[in-house]
Amino acid sequence: MAKKKINTALNEAQETSPAKNISLKSAERIKNLRKKKIDPENLVEQIIQGNKTALSRAITLIESQQTKHQHDVNAIIEGCLPYANQSIRIGITGVPGVGKSTFIEAFGNYLIGLEKKVAVLAVDPSSSISQGSILGDKTRMEELVKQENAFIRPTPSGDSLGGVAQKTRESIILCEAAGFDTILIETVGVGQSETIVHSMTDFFLLLKLAGAGDELQGIKRGIMEMADAIVINKADGENQQPARQAKAEFKKALHLYPETESGWRPKVKLASALHHKGIEEIEKMISSYEKATKENNYFQHKRQEQNKFWLLQTINNRLKANFYDQPKIKAELKKQLTAIENNETTPFVAANFLFNLMKHL
């Protein structure tokens, strides 16, 4: 569609009026920018200097599904890697309506006030029908987006597990290389996205609401076990008493779980992101966690285990992509799907057939 618009502009600009000449120049400039070759080395240099435009461009390349970009992407990540790992990575999750964006904006602004540089990687849920997403985080975080030391990147989740963008981990590396010392990763808040985000963060924060009817019975044990802290948001006005009651119930529930490998006992805090209450206490809690886990070496151990996990995950992704990219597999897969529809084979027999075919390619 964009290419069609450019060509239309070029055709219209053939006329002699000054306005048309301007259109021609503009269209040609856009076309030249599109043709401009990617220079990974230059892009890395700009990222290291803290250039947010270069950072955005590099993340766009990372998110690209085109195989022609893979070589440049690998070069960019390798160039940024020596400058990465100097941050605290914080995962933030909660059901829609809990106030994640408001909390992140209040928390991010507070951190910037402490002379921190904050990057927000917010995964937006994609429609399973149109594949589109709202990408509204920049709109919701009106104040934070204006900050010089903030970078907000909304990303459509696509079809990756639990709605978490497949390339988020590589984006973290780039943000760290750009000098961002605090990375906030917001999950979709539905499905299994929390598990993936937990595998790439140092501290995992679960936002809850009081009086929503899910203080205990509606919570999956898995998410509770992953959480390093539970923050009951919107604890203001008439909701203060229910929030205090919910805090007591969560504390009792957390005491039933075995001690964590990190030695950290998960905390329960109250907050009102809208009124900026409880934010300072939450920042101090996360700092205490970071200090404690670095002293007992758990912080580094967890990152090493995450790297191992992502090695295996990357291998799985590459094998899967290689499998589906084979022309013979593509052709035969269509036949097998038709055979399943006609009850001529079973999914398991069809899968074995395709795997055996792959062995001989």
Of the ranges 129-138, 152-161, 183-192, 294-303, the best mean pLDDT one:
294-303
Q: Can you read off the two tokens belonging to residue 107?
A: 């928390």
H or E segment at 203?
Answer: strand 203-209
Nearest to residue 182, comparing CAs of 104, 277, 99? 104
How much is the average pLDDT of 163-171? 72
Q: For residues 56 and 174, what is the distance between their CA atoms, to the nearest angstrom?
A: 9
Count CB neighbours of 213 within 10 A. 7
Residues in the chain: 361
Per residue in 45-60, pLDDT tens?
999 999 999 999 999 9
Give this prediction's pTM: 0.81
Q: What are the structural domains, with CATH classification, of the chain?
A: 1-36 (no CATH), 78-295 (3.40.50.300), 307-359 (1.10.287)
Q: Is 152:120 a contact under the CB 8 Å cutoff? A: yes
Nearest to residue 185, comparing CAs of 220, 142, 130, 137? 137
Per residue in 81-128, pLDDT tens?
999 999 999 999 888 889 999 999 999 999 999 999 999 998 765 433
Q: Is 93:193 a contact under the CB 8 Å cutoff? A: yes
Q: For residues 358 and 323, what is the distance between their CA atoms, to the nearest angstrom?
A: 7
Q: Can you read off the two tokens belonging to residue 145?
A: 């987006």
Q: For residues 318 and 320, what is the distance between their CA atoms, to the nearest angstrom?
A: 5
